[in-house]
A and B are shown apart, each in its own frame.
Chain A
């Protein structure tokens, strides 16, 4: 009796839908990637406000100061006391001057912790004024009401 040969076929899965979906996922996560993370600090719990909306225009020469509830300030990743803040601000002011800008045009972003003392925030603003900074914004997180 003659035995017929069984044909073996390689079955290849259709990869197209998987690749489509993977590219869509990549596009989704790319769009949501937050490059401004350097301006944030995990220790700071911002107060919420319904009027806090993301700025339509980027701020000019922003300098971010994180005010903690322990009465310290974080600037450029370094934690200093309010009294020790002045040299850092002077350095920022001299960098701006070297670029031909006045410190008065720079915007100081104050990211104060919700439980920080008001006097600390005021002292930070006063120290900035002594370093010739004039424009300040107080940052809050958006309160969507839910």
Chain B
């Protein structure tokens, strides 16, 4: 009797078409929903509820008042810190803050207790507020690390819009 050879050589091929269809649909979906967005970061602002002033605790520096005046169009006109006039230079403000804060860090240091109060003209464009906060809150060193300066930042109570 002749034994019939079983068709073991028959090639079973996977049906690739549906998978490729789905894969291309997924690819299209992700390409269509792809959007380049700039990274964003936050600045902390200390704005507790208004409470009756009980005076500053001992060993606490009075807040440094940064005054930002604006033109009628909302552009920056002048930067002042206490009695120092920096014109339009945020770098000048930044360098002054660095000289005040010094290199000491940790609890009880000037850096830990220093506070900045921003007093801005009502019509001033918000971008200058962020520039001022950037100037007083720190800088990036050569290694790309952020060196913190003033961490306590707050606004003065808002003035009237007519300001």
Contact = CB atoms under 8 A, between A and B. Distances in A.
Contacts of B139: 50-51
Interface in B1-58: 16, 19-20, 23-24, 26-27, 30-31, 33-35, 37-45, 47-50
B16 A117 contact: no
Contacts of B130: 47-49, 114, 138, 140
B19 to A, nearest CB: 8
Given A29-B30, A30-B30, A114 B127 contact: yes
Contacts of B122: 117-119
Contact of A51 (B23, B37, B41): B41
A126 B161 CA distance: 14
B38 A142 contact: yes
B113 interface: no
A137 B126 contact: no
B44 A137 contact: yes
Interface residues of A, number: 51
B126 A67 contact: yes
Closest 10 CB pairs of A and B: A52-B41, A29-B30, A119-B122, A137-B42, A122-B158, A114-B127, A47-B127, A47-B130, A142-B39, A53-B41
A93 interface: no
Contacts of A117: 74, 122-126, 161
B133 interface: yes
Contacts of B16: 15, 19
B23 A19 contact: yes
B129 interface: yes
A26 B158 contact: no
Interface stretch (A1-9, A33-41, A72-80, A84-92): A33-41
